[in-house]
Amino acid sequence: MAGGRPRKKTAVATGKIGKQAAASRMRQEEELKLQRDALAPPAWLNEEAAAEFSRVVEEASKIDILDNLDLAVLAIYANAYTMYLQTVNKIAKFGLTGKRETLYGTYEVISPYVVAQDKYVKQIMLCSSKLGLATTDRLKLIVPTSDAGSKSENKFLRFVK
Protein backbone atom coordinates (compact mmCIF):
# COMPACT_ATOMS: atom_id res chain seq x y z
CA MET A 1 0.00 0.00 0.00
CA ALA A 2 1.22 3.50 -0.77
CA GLY A 3 2.49 5.76 1.97
CA GLY A 4 0.41 8.38 3.67
CA ARG A 5 -2.16 8.29 6.39
CA PRO A 6 -3.95 5.05 7.17
CA ARG A 7 -7.59 5.01 6.18
CA LYS A 8 -10.19 5.63 8.90
CA LYS A 9 -13.43 3.78 9.31
CA THR A 10 -16.14 5.60 7.35
CA ALA A 11 -18.35 6.02 10.42
CA VAL A 12 -15.64 7.97 12.26
CA ALA A 13 -14.03 9.78 9.32
CA THR A 14 -14.33 13.55 9.48
CA GLY A 15 -13.29 14.48 5.94
CA LYS A 16 -15.69 15.12 3.09
CA ILE A 17 -15.65 12.20 0.67
CA GLY A 18 -19.04 12.50 -0.99
CA LYS A 19 -22.17 10.38 -0.68
CA GLN A 20 -21.28 7.87 -3.41
CA ALA A 21 -17.73 7.31 -2.11
CA ALA A 22 -19.02 7.01 1.47
CA ALA A 23 -21.63 4.44 0.41
CA SER A 24 -19.00 2.46 -1.48
CA ARG A 25 -16.66 2.50 1.52
CA MET A 26 -19.48 1.40 3.83
CA ARG A 27 -20.17 -1.57 1.51
CA GLN A 28 -16.49 -2.51 1.56
CA GLU A 29 -16.37 -2.33 5.36
CA GLU A 30 -19.50 -4.48 5.68
CA GLU A 31 -17.94 -7.15 3.45
CA LEU A 32 -15.12 -7.51 5.97
CA LYS A 33 -17.46 -7.98 8.93
CA LEU A 34 -17.82 -11.40 10.48
CA GLN A 35 -20.08 -12.76 13.19
CA ARG A 36 -19.66 -11.64 16.79
CA ASP A 37 -21.35 -14.51 18.64
CA ALA A 38 -18.17 -16.08 20.09
CA LEU A 39 -16.73 -13.02 21.83
CA ALA A 40 -16.75 -14.45 25.34
CA PRO A 41 -13.70 -14.64 27.61
CA PRO A 42 -11.84 -17.96 27.26
CA ALA A 43 -11.85 -20.19 30.33
CA TRP A 44 -8.08 -19.92 30.80
CA LEU A 45 -8.22 -16.19 31.56
CA ASN A 46 -8.15 -15.26 35.23
CA GLU A 47 -10.99 -13.21 36.72
CA GLU A 48 -9.30 -9.83 36.18
CA ALA A 49 -8.39 -10.65 32.56
CA ALA A 50 -11.91 -11.89 31.85
CA ALA A 51 -13.30 -8.61 33.20
CA GLU A 52 -10.98 -6.58 30.96
CA PHE A 53 -11.90 -8.81 28.00
CA SER A 54 -15.60 -8.17 28.62
CA ARG A 55 -15.04 -4.44 29.10
CA VAL A 56 -13.26 -4.12 25.74
CA VAL A 57 -15.95 -6.17 23.97
CA GLU A 58 -18.68 -3.98 25.47
CA GLU A 59 -16.95 -0.72 24.56
CA ALA A 60 -15.99 -1.90 21.06
CA SER A 61 -19.54 -3.06 20.38
CA LYS A 62 -20.64 0.58 20.39
CA ILE A 63 -18.75 1.12 17.14
CA ASP A 64 -18.85 -2.49 15.94
CA ILE A 65 -15.14 -3.10 15.36
CA LEU A 66 -14.55 -6.57 16.83
CA ASP A 67 -15.62 -9.96 15.50
CA ASN A 68 -14.96 -13.66 16.20
CA LEU A 69 -11.52 -13.63 14.57
CA ASP A 70 -10.35 -11.11 17.18
CA LEU A 71 -10.88 -13.58 20.03
CA ALA A 72 -7.27 -14.78 20.36
CA VAL A 73 -5.70 -11.33 20.12
CA LEU A 74 -8.23 -9.93 22.58
CA ALA A 75 -7.51 -12.76 25.04
CA ILE A 76 -3.75 -12.12 24.74
CA TYR A 77 -4.37 -8.41 25.28
CA ALA A 78 -6.52 -9.01 28.39
CA ASN A 79 -3.96 -11.46 29.83
CA ALA A 80 -1.07 -9.03 29.17
CA TYR A 81 -3.07 -6.23 30.78
CA THR A 82 -3.56 -8.16 34.03
CA MET A 83 0.06 -9.33 34.04
CA TYR A 84 1.10 -5.69 33.59
CA LEU A 85 -0.99 -4.75 36.64
CA GLN A 86 0.67 -7.53 38.64
CA THR A 87 4.14 -6.26 37.72
CA VAL A 88 3.12 -2.73 38.76
CA ASN A 89 2.21 -4.13 42.19
CA LYS A 90 5.49 -6.09 42.42
CA ILE A 91 7.51 -2.99 41.53
CA ALA A 92 5.63 -0.99 44.16
CA LYS A 93 6.45 -3.69 46.72
CA PHE A 94 10.06 -4.53 45.81
CA GLY A 95 11.28 -1.38 44.03
CA LEU A 96 12.79 -0.66 40.64
CA THR A 97 16.18 -2.10 41.47
CA GLY A 98 17.72 -4.84 43.54
CA LYS A 99 21.17 -5.83 44.76
CA ARG A 100 23.29 -8.57 43.23
CA GLU A 101 26.32 -10.04 44.95
CA THR A 102 29.29 -11.37 43.02
CA LEU A 103 32.84 -12.35 43.86
CA TYR A 104 33.85 -8.76 43.15
CA GLY A 105 31.27 -7.06 45.33
CA THR A 106 27.66 -5.98 45.47
CA TYR A 107 26.05 -3.91 42.77
CA GLU A 108 22.62 -2.61 41.90
CA VAL A 109 20.61 -4.16 39.05
CA ILE A 110 17.29 -3.35 37.46
CA SER A 111 14.40 -5.39 38.78
CA PRO A 112 13.22 -8.27 36.59
CA TYR A 113 9.71 -6.93 37.20
CA VAL A 114 10.62 -3.74 35.33
CA VAL A 115 11.84 -5.81 32.37
CA ALA A 116 8.63 -7.88 32.45
CA GLN A 117 6.54 -4.72 32.70
CA ASP A 118 8.19 -3.31 29.58
CA LYS A 119 7.43 -6.51 27.66
CA TYR A 120 3.78 -6.41 28.73
CA VAL A 121 3.49 -2.76 27.67
CA LYS A 122 4.77 -3.66 24.21
CA GLN A 123 2.39 -6.62 23.98
CA ILE A 124 -0.56 -4.47 25.07
CA MET A 125 0.26 -1.78 22.51
CA LEU A 126 0.66 -4.29 19.68
CA CYS A 127 -2.55 -6.15 20.52
CA SER A 128 -4.60 -3.00 20.97
CA SER A 129 -3.46 -1.80 17.57
CA LYS A 130 -4.29 -5.12 15.94
CA LEU A 131 -7.68 -5.26 17.63
CA GLY A 132 -8.82 -2.15 15.93
CA LEU A 133 -8.89 -0.11 19.08
CA ALA A 134 -7.06 2.06 16.59
CA THR A 135 -8.90 0.79 13.51
CA THR A 136 -6.21 1.59 10.96
CA ASP A 137 -4.73 -1.92 10.78
CA ARG A 138 -8.02 -3.53 9.82
CA LEU A 139 -8.90 -0.82 7.33
CA LYS A 140 -5.65 -1.31 5.45
CA LEU A 141 -7.20 -4.54 4.14
CA ILE A 142 -9.99 -2.70 2.34
CA VAL A 143 -9.11 -2.45 -1.33
CA PRO A 144 -11.12 0.20 -3.17
CA THR A 145 -13.17 -1.11 -6.06
CA SER A 146 -13.19 0.64 -9.42
CA ASP A 147 -16.43 2.46 -8.61
CA ALA A 148 -15.16 3.64 -5.21
CA GLY A 149 -12.76 6.25 -6.45
CA SER A 150 -13.87 6.74 -10.03
CA LYS A 151 -13.85 10.33 -11.15
CA SER A 152 -15.11 11.89 -14.33
CA GLU A 153 -12.60 12.40 -17.09
CA ASN A 154 -10.30 15.37 -16.62
CA LYS A 155 -11.72 18.21 -18.71
CA PHE A 156 -8.22 19.49 -19.54
CA LEU A 157 -7.04 16.12 -20.89
CA ARG A 158 -8.36 16.95 -24.36
CA PHE A 159 -5.80 19.77 -24.67
CA VAL A 160 -2.92 17.35 -24.11
CA LYS A 161 -3.95 15.06 -26.96
Tens-place pLDDT, residues 89-144? 999 999 999 898 989 999 999 999 999 999 999 999 899 888 876 666 656 545 45
Per-residue pLDDT, 16: 64
pLDDT(3) > 90: no
The secondary structure of the chain, three-state, reads CCCCCCCCCHHHCCCCCCHHHHHHHHHHHHHHCCCCCCCCCCCCCCHHHHHHHHHHHHHHHCCCCCCHHHHHHHHHHHHHHHHHHHHHHHHHHHCCEEEEEECCEEEEEECHHHHHHHHHHHHHHHHHHHCCCCCHHHHCCCCCCCCCCCCCCCCCHHHHC
Please report, for the chain, the start and end positions of each structural domain, with discontinuous segments joined by +. Answer: 17-144
Q: What is the pLDDT of residues 31-61, one digit of tens each?
A: 656 666 668 899 999 999 999 999 988 888 8
Cβ contact 113:91 at 8 Å: yes
Query: What pLDDT score does 9 carry?
Result: 54
Q: Quick one: pLDDT band at residue 27, thresholds 50, 70, 90?
A: confident
pLDDT at 1: 47
* Full-model pTM: 0.63
Per the model's pLDDT, the better-predicted residue between 81 and 155 turns out to be 81
pLDDT at 70: 81
pLDDT bin (cut points 50, 70, 90) of residue 65 is confident
What local confidence, expressed as pLDDT, does residue 116 receive?
96
pLDDT higher than 80, residue 71: yes
Q: What is the mean pLDDT of residues 13-28?
A: 70
What is residue 136's predicted lDDT score, i.e. its pLDDT? 65
Pick the residue with more confidence: 84 or 151?
84
